[in-house]
Amino acid sequence: MAFWKQLTLSLAALVAGVFLWTWLVPGADGVLRRIGVPEGIVALVSPAKPEGAATATNGQGGSQPPGQAQGQGQTQGQGQGGNRRGAVQALVVVQPVVTGTVNDRLSALGTGDAIQSVTIMPQVSGTLSQIAIRSGDRITKGQVIARLENEEQRIARDQAQVALKSAEEKNQLYENLKSAASRIDAFDAAIVLEGAKLALSSAELELKRRDIVSPIDGIAGIVTVNPGDNVTTATAIATVDDRSELLVDFWVPERFAPIIEVGQPLTATAVARPGKLYSGNVEAVDNRIDEASRTLRIRARIANENDDLRAGMAFNVTMAFEGERHPAVDPLSVQWDSNGSFVWRVAGGKAEKVPVRIIQRNPDAVLVEADLAEGDRVVTEGVQRVRAGRPVQVVGDEAGAKPADGEKPVASR
């Protein structure tokens, strides 16, 4: 197709589009005048106005389409109607304020240990000749649990006994003499006697150390050595635990440091024995807060009368405190604005805005610090329609504020 034909068709389509736009869109002729289109062309493409049609004028002397003037009238009417609706009471649902407690309960995980626990090692090196206990035996303080070979020490003890007997007889002989020379010999004999006594005590001590004994009452653990093993002073023969009572170490947040004292009661539940409670009390409180975890170490003592607990068990320790009491409100009642959180309190049939500071969030209530008393009613539903100082009507409250003449309560959720 020739270029002049394409140009002609494009111009024709453009004119048709402008003509259709001016006929279908109200106020299109005003747009054409503002962009500088000559009045003759505007009159040509604009639809003819019926006789008697009103033309609105704006404040600057220009014409304004009747539709626009009508829109302004509708806007004014809506504004007046909106003002009338602003005085309508809001229909709200309220909940009473209750008192909640925080920091009244502590639950922590701890590890148990025997009230006394000893790892028994030999006092001297040597070869084991006898193991006198088995794993799991109940032993008493001073009981021999193992022996080292002691033939050499027995011989040394017997020699010391012979030397002591000889020194005693010689000393007795010199004591019966009266001469001066004999007195000096008697003095020397007494010194020899004292040395013989010390030698015998040393020999008996070396022999006694060949017996490995338990220093406490308790239950023996697994014995890891056998007769014939060569042991040293660093070799563990057995571990003895006195588990008549258990010590449980656990850690608590630093905020509980001022309220935990020695002797406070507590309960513990062994993870391995769920459902069974063990009573106890606080045995010791550490003197400092751990800087890494910001926790305080607490040691508890619990009874183990039936011997069903073991050292190393995990325990869930629970403690009860008086706690701190604060107003508790429904979570739906807490609102936010630029100044922070607040609630709407209904008093005397009107709404009051009460600022709150959240202390703790629970699934069914929020503990707050605010000027609220137990029993105060706060709005939980319909908060979008509530304004400070405006009257409200509470759902189901016959004694609530009644709407004025000609007003209707409006429910909003």
Question: For residue range 353-406, what is the model confidence (pLDDT) as tens digits?
Answer: 999 999 888 888 898 989 899 999 999 998 888 888 889 888 876 544 444 444
Cα gap 269→313, rounded to integer Å: 10
Is 271 in the same domain as 354?
no
343, amino acid identity? V
- pLDDT tens readout for residues 118-129: 999 999 999 999
Q: Are 29 and 46 within 8 A, CB to CB?
A: yes
Residues 222 and 243 in one domain: no
Q: State the average pLDDT for the chain.
A: 81
pLDDT at residue 73 in the model: 39
Provide CB contacts within 8 A for 335, sequence distance 6+.
341, 342, 343, 344, 383
Q: What percent of the chain has pLDDT over 70?
A: 82
∠ CA 388-390-391, nearest 5°, is: 135
Express each pLDDT in 68-81 by its tens digit. Answer: 434 443 434 344 44
The answer to whether 328 touches 359, Cβ cutoff 8 Å, is no
- Fill in the DSSP letter of residue 80: H
Of 327, 345, 358, the closest CA to residue 388 belongs to 345
Reported as type and span, the H/E element at residue 364 is none
User: Domain for residue 383, yes or no?
Assistant: yes
What's at 3, amino acid-wise? F
Asked if residue 119 is part of any domain, the answer here is no
Q: What is the mean pLDDT of residues 310-322?
A: 90
Q: What CATH number does residue 385 fall under?
A: 2.40.420.20
For residues 137 and 208, state if they share a domain. Answer: yes
The reply to whether 226 and 166 lie within a common domain is yes
Residue 363 φ then ψ, to 5°:
-60, -35
Q: Decide if 254 contacts 167 (C-beta within 8 A).
A: no
Is 395 domain-assigned?
yes
pLDDT digits (tens, 9 = 90+) for 109-157: 999 999 999 999 999 999 999 999 998 899 999 999 999 998 898 999 9
The count of structural domains within the chain is 5
Q: Are residues 134 and 214 in the same domain?
A: yes
Tell me: pLDDT of 62 over 60: no
302: three-class secondary structure by DSSP = strand
In which domain, by residue range, is 355 found?
90-102+325-411
Does a structural domain hold residue 307?
Answer: yes
